[in-house]
Amino acid sequence: MADVFIIAILSIICVIITHLVIKIVTVRRAFWGFPEPKYDKHWLHGHLPHYRAQGYVGQYLFDKWIEWTERYPKLFLNWVGPTSVRVVLNHPESIKKILKTADPKPLGYGDIYKHGLPWLGEGLLFAGGPKWKRSRRLLTPAFHFDILRPYVKVYKTCADHLVRNIHTLSEKGNSVEIFSLVSACTFDIILRCAFSYESNCQDLEQSNQYVNTVHDITKEWVHRNSSPWLFPDFIYFNTNRGRKFKKNCDYLHKIADEVIEKRREALENADVSSRKYLDFLDILLTAKDEDGQGMSKEYIRCEVDTFMFAGHDTTASAISWILLSLAEHPDFQRKCQDEIDKVVSETDSGELEWKDLERLEFLSQCIKEGMRLHSPVPGILRQNLDPIIIDNHVIPARSNILISLYCLHHNPLVWGADHMEFKPERFTKENQHNLNPFSYCPFSAGPRNCIGQHFAMAEEKVVLASLLQRFTFSVDKSHKIEKRWAAVMRTQTGIKLFVSARTNNDDESPTC
């Protein structure tokens, strides 16, 4: 009997090993001849050790990505274990062939986005096929310019609160950690613009649980993505990390459900047209397709969670990194301030309005260059439905394709040998005209581009203008700033800057 048991176990092991060997041979044959940094590849783990070299996805990996991009400027492979491979695209002509399609994002075993499903569900960010097309069609009206124009006053109100917070924290002359303050401000903006909800999330006396939970959950999301032993759900959700992730998801879902239910009740008792402006949730709750079908409660929750995350974290990252770059380049900062002062002085109300934002040309150049240099969203994954030829290599159907926006924005073939330098003149009208449209994609591009990019750009302009109108920022050289990928581009220890009130502003109030 014991012999039969041993034979059975050995047979199972042989089947598993045979299956694994066949899969390894099949995958490696499919990608034979593709450029890859073999000198940096572990025999078993592939390139995964570079993703975990610091215990998290950080500066080390970004430096490696640039090194690999300089060696392989069109595409290269990254192996995540012996059988899983990502095709990394890093050149405009390479990524164009993927971004011009509506090919879905991979949601299979071990895929990055699959690990985000318990939190964000299959909303616009993750959905594919007919579900994505329907979502995009129903949500597009929420980002029409007529909807966005009234939001400028909301941006300004929240930015004024941020100004007061920075003024308070900088009074003693110490450097101020900017990232967390900006994150609270952009979250305040999302709550007001998307849900007409006024919170105390910017109060300095309180730690905002939602913002902190989003920060924790995004760090854990990226950690799991670089830990193959945590890919199986039955293992992960029985670990302490998995249980905490589930608890955090439940908390964020609870907040979203409360916001939705309050608005649903309000809509039943009031006419939407009587409000000052339509917000994102109004449109979600009232949207109907050509068949008269609205959105389900679960689907609305997915979109609310997605918008609350994507709508505040990415802009907080962009604004914070741009402030750092301006602090590192005082001449550019002064030029922005002079432009802002001039535009504001020529307005009737003394405050920026929607029509004034396009006049902030140099600030716009700095914003674009900051998002190129720091890439708030370092990369996005897609899965090609059909085989596709890129740089004379046939990528098999249903491959995992990583469009590395960070590599794209630091490709020396596109941006030159000085790609690590902050040079706003790259985005003058003349220079932009000469750029390949797919050279610069902070909001992605093509049919699956960021639906909220105009919202985000306007928000960044207003918040930065409010801050630069009141303050001058300089670098705290004692504080080491190191990039960390936690869904968006963060830092390991925040961004600390010295802040001084501008001497040409005679008002004692810190409110712009």
Q: Is domain 31-501 given the CATH code 1.10.630.10 in the classification?
A: yes
Cα separation of 119 and 487, whole Å?
A: 13
**Interatomic CA distance for residues 296 and 303, integer angstroms:** 11
Phi, psi angles (nearest 5°) of residue 430: -65, -45
What is the tens place of the pLDDT at every residue in 240-266?
A: 999 999 999 999 999 888 888 888 887
The edge-to-edge listing of strands for the beta sheet with 400-404 is 75-79, 85-89, 400-404, 379-383
Count of alpha carbons within 13 Å of 406, Cβ hemisphere only? 24
Give the separation between CA 420 and CA 413, rounded to whole angstroms.
Answer: 13
- Whole-number Å distance between alpha carbons of 320 and 328: 13
CB 383 within 8 A of CB 104: yes
- Packing angle of the helix pair 361-374, 330-345 (nearest 10 deg): 140
Residue 450 annotated as lining a ligand binding site: yes
d(CA 38, CA 72) in angstroms, rounded, equals: 12
Q: What confidence score (pLDDT) does residue 270 get?
A: 66
Question: By three-state DSSP, how is residue 247 classified?
Answer: helix
Amino acid identity of residue 118, one-letter, is: P
Place of tokens 């917000």: 279
User: Within the chain, how many helices (H) and strands (E) appear?
Assistant: 20, 11
Contacting residues for 335 by C-beta, under 8 A, at least 6 apart: 362
Helices (H), 76-122: 92-99, 117-120
DSSP H stretches of helix in 270-360: 280-286, 297-328, 330-345
DSSP summary character for residue 374: H
What does the pLDDT read at residue 272? 54
Measured over the CA atoms of residue 339, residue 344, residue 345 and residue 348, the dihedral's sign is positive
Q: What is the pLDDT of residue 9?
A: 80
Strand partners, 89: 75, 403
Residue closest to 317 by CA, chosen among 445, 443, 468: 443
The pLDDT value recorded for residue 275 is 56
So where are the chain's domains?
A: 31-501
Q: Which pLDDT does position 109 carry in this prediction?
A: 58
- For the chain, the farthest-separated pair of C-alpha atoms sits apart, in whole angstroms, at 93
Residue 281 near residue 304, CB atoms below 8 Å: yes
What's the pLDDT at 259? 82
Q: Mark the ranges of the chain whose per-residue pLDDT is less than 50.
A: 506-512
Q: Are the C-beta atoms of 294 and 283 separated by less than 8 Å?
A: no
pLDDT value for 510:
39
Find the helix packing angle between 129-139 and 297-328, rounded to 10°.
Answer: 70
Q: Which residues pair with 46 in a beta bridge?
A: 42, 80
In DSSP terms, 135 is beta-bridged to none
Do 361 and 354 touch, CB atoms closer than 8 A?
no
Cα–Cα distances in angstroms (integers) from residue 83 to residues 79, 106, 260, 395, 449, in the given order: 8, 16, 43, 15, 30
**Which token pair is 509?**
């109030």
- The model's pTM is 0.90
Q: How many CB atoms lie within 10 A of CB 331?
A: 8
